[in-house]
Chains A and B, each alone.
Chain A
């Protein structure tokens, strides 16, 4: 096993060395560098070369089966690939909600035909997906969603609207929760459907956030025709898929920009604020706040590691994605507050090159949404109370 892994590592190393363009071996400079893919994406030449090289091996989605465009790698092999990419500081060749969210759901709930149709274009970065979950009247209470799909024989007609649809204005297709049974209890009448955003009757409108960015949209459906073959899983069982997907989303959000992986807040503060002869940063109370956040960050990072290791060893408890989502996002918000404190008035700069167009305050503001999107912190605590602690009436 170890020997074959070593052989695999040499193979990966040689391939990456030969195929990863130098431009793709440095961190993203801006949001524009993110390789989202899709029909309208403008690939730079190195981005395209890197994508094609990785997609040829199935390594944009290393653990997916090869027949669906994946690399068919074991978890250990995928880890080797990730390590080797990190070693040369290679960027991910492709990132998308197709890879992170829809793919895992289709692999679990989709038919063989659906997998063949939808997964390879995701792996090759040809189709960009968005997620149609929240609605104006269905946020934390997602299952009360009202977008309706009326049965018209061989197709449905969809009417309603979604909100907080990430990048809906740039997406090619949507995976969407719709109500297909109007008499059932709220969790039991929901279905999970896929359709083209270019379908007649679909429109989007970006939402400008407090950060000044517009990563989300309102999305409207006005008599949109959707063939019945585009239903995933069973009719009226879409909530199961939604929950499964939300688990993935939580893990993703919880793992973003957190404690241990973040830049050294204390080191930055020591540099900007100064230190005494013993090397202790000058503002002792702020220093205390920073180190508490660093400790929680490191303990959180170790917990993510432990959860992974326990899962591998077949141990561990359920509903941990809620714990990671809750703690990771709250921690990130705390860290962003501390970054603002450390930078003082410099952190208030909203425009201009010096402040990279207000990156600090915009990141701080953006991070406020971490504990709202993908299920609020309060919803995560509800889930822990119910599923882990088994408290009554939760």
Chain B
């Protein structure tokens, strides 16, 4: 597949750019943060995103979605990154939809996918238990009980867990704490008995949650995929999320870079524009190259997901590289803005905060470097 956007994809990019710049620019993030909004995003916006087809971008057409695939989803995430838009796009439209498409039964798909596409159902992936991403470290247990299971354990960093209608819980039906075998995915109603959700407000003004499961009873119909066979599904879901996060970081890196280059052309010191200083020019030119590399790696990863085979190598390349470059881009942005870059009044700091949170989500540069090396056999 050529590493260019098709005409259809270029149209999606343009319409996503226009939509988010108009409806959910950075000022909207500031407004929601300052209002200490309990939901943390605008439900109205999410409805509008559903009408645009974004909520159902991965959902097949016969299930009420638009079925445009991961390259398209990545283009939406890139626009979200540029505008630092708050929305449940990642948790629901990417992670949730991928899980159900990959592992759902016919009934589960019919019941859930059309509601995702319509913007009526919010999902959250409850996988992490450690503060550093280690998805195989699962101590949450699912013990057989009646015609189903009883879930007990604690989950952290559950993105949008505070508002999700349903949680996708990764629990252990077999094996030791770090085995990849013996994991099972469950669909759990957030208001089920024994589920406690504590909202955690994060540095990037997004919301995650700690979820405590205290003997939560689920039945066999709530199992997503095969009992004990959850790992490959989880990897697929995480890889989808990672590639889309790479796209989001591409967007935020590019936008913070654009604003920084603009600033270099305006700000004067010593009687000249600071952009005329070679010390800054070379750093900016280097950063330009790094962002171009992220664009190529991200597009390839999203294409690999659309191709349906094992996308792990390209996904780790994209997520690892995008994380490192987002860190560089946003740190350079603050440094080159000087004192004003440190003020809350100025937007550039929001980009650095989101970059850090996106890096920590589903594996940073170090995690994905290690994964790349293992995939390459060393």
Cβ–Cβ contact B261 & A303, under 8 A: no
Residues A392 and B265 in contact in the complex (CB < 8 Å), given A279-B374, A280-B374: yes
Residues A389 and B282 in contact in the complex (CB < 8 Å), given A266-B373, A280-B373: no
| Residue in B272, B292, B299, B321 whose beta carbon sits within 8 Å of that of A393 in the complex | B272
The secondary-structure label for the interface of chain A is: helix
Q: How far is the CB of A275 from chain B (nearest CB, A)?
A: 7
**Stretch among A58-66, A222-230, A378-386 lining the B interface:** A378-386
Question: Does residue A310 face the partner (Cβ distance < 8 Å to B)?
Answer: yes
Give the residues from 335 to 378 in chain B that come closer than 8 angstroms, CB to CB, to chain A: 366, 369-370, 372-374, 376-378
Question: Does residue B278 face the partner (Cβ distance < 8 Å to A)?
Answer: yes
A residues in contact with B230, CB < 8 Å: none
Give the residues from 254 to 269 in chain B that come closer than 8 angstroms, CB to CB, to chain A: 261, 264-265
Question: Does residue A243 face the partner (Cβ distance < 8 Å to B)?
Answer: no
Question: Does residue A287 face the partner (Cβ distance < 8 Å to B)?
Answer: yes
Cβ–Cβ contact A392 & B273, under 8 A: yes
| Residue in B4, B366, B378 whose beta carbon sits within 8 Å of that of A310 in the complex | B4
Per-position binary interface string of chain A over residues 246-279, scored 1 when its CB falls under 8 Å from any chain B CB and 0 otherwise: 0000000000000000001011011000010011
A residues in contact with B378, CB < 8 Å: 266-267, 269-270, 275, 279-281, 287, 290-291
Interface size on B, residues (CB 8 A): 39
A residues in contact with B373, CB < 8 Å: 266, 280-281, 287, 290-291, 294
Cβ–Cβ contact B4 & A384, under 8 A: no
Question: Does residue B84 face the partner (Cβ distance < 8 Å to A)?
Answer: no
Q: How far is the CB of A315 from chain B (nearest CB, A)?
A: 7
Q: Considering the chains assembled together, what is the distance between the CA atoms of A278 and B111 in angstroms?
A: 42
Cβ–Cβ contact A309 & B288, under 8 A: no
A residues in contact with B281, CB < 8 Å: 381-382, 385, 389, 391, 394
Question: Does residue B163 face the partner (Cβ distance < 8 Å to A)?
Answer: no
Residue from B275, B297, B373 whose CB has the most chain A CB atoms within 10 Å:
B373
Cβ–Cβ contact B370 & A302, under 8 A: no
Question: Does residue B289 face the partner (Cβ distance < 8 Å to A)?
Answer: yes
Question: Does residue A192 face the partner (Cβ distance < 8 Å to B)?
Answer: no
The secondary-structure label for the interface of chain B is: helix
Residues A305 and B296 in contact in the complex (CB < 8 Å), given A280-B378, A287-B373, A389-B261: yes
Closest chain B residue to A324, Cβ basis: B289
Question: Interface residue tally of chain A, by bracket?
Answer: 35 or more
Q: Considering the chains assembled together, what is the distance between the CA atoms of A303 and B290 in angstroms?
A: 10
Question: Does residue B35 face the partner (Cβ distance < 8 Å to A)?
Answer: no
A residues in contact with B286, CB < 8 Å: 326, 381
A residues in contact with B328, CB < 8 Å: none
Cβ–Cβ contact A299 & B296, under 8 A: yes
Question: Does residue A52 face the partner (Cβ distance < 8 Å to B)?
Answer: no
A residues in contact with B369, CB < 8 Å: 288, 291-292, 295
Q: How far is the CB of B7 from chain A (nearest CB, A)?
A: 10
Q: How far is the CB of A175 from chain B (nearest CB, A)?
A: 30
Further pairs besides A323-B288, A327-B289: 12, Cβ < 8 Å: A266-B376, A287-B378, A291-B370, A294-B376, A295-B320, A295-B321, A295-B372, A298-B317, A326-B285, A378-B282, A391-B264, A391-B276
Closest 3 CB pairs of A and B: A393-B276, A385-B281, A384-B285
Q: List 17 A-B contacts (CB under 8 A).
A: A266-B373, A266-B376, A266-B378, A267-B377, A269-B378, A299-B297, A303-B295, A305-B296, A309-B4, A388-B288, A389-B284, A389-B285, A389-B288, A390-B265, A391-B276, A394-B276, A394-B278
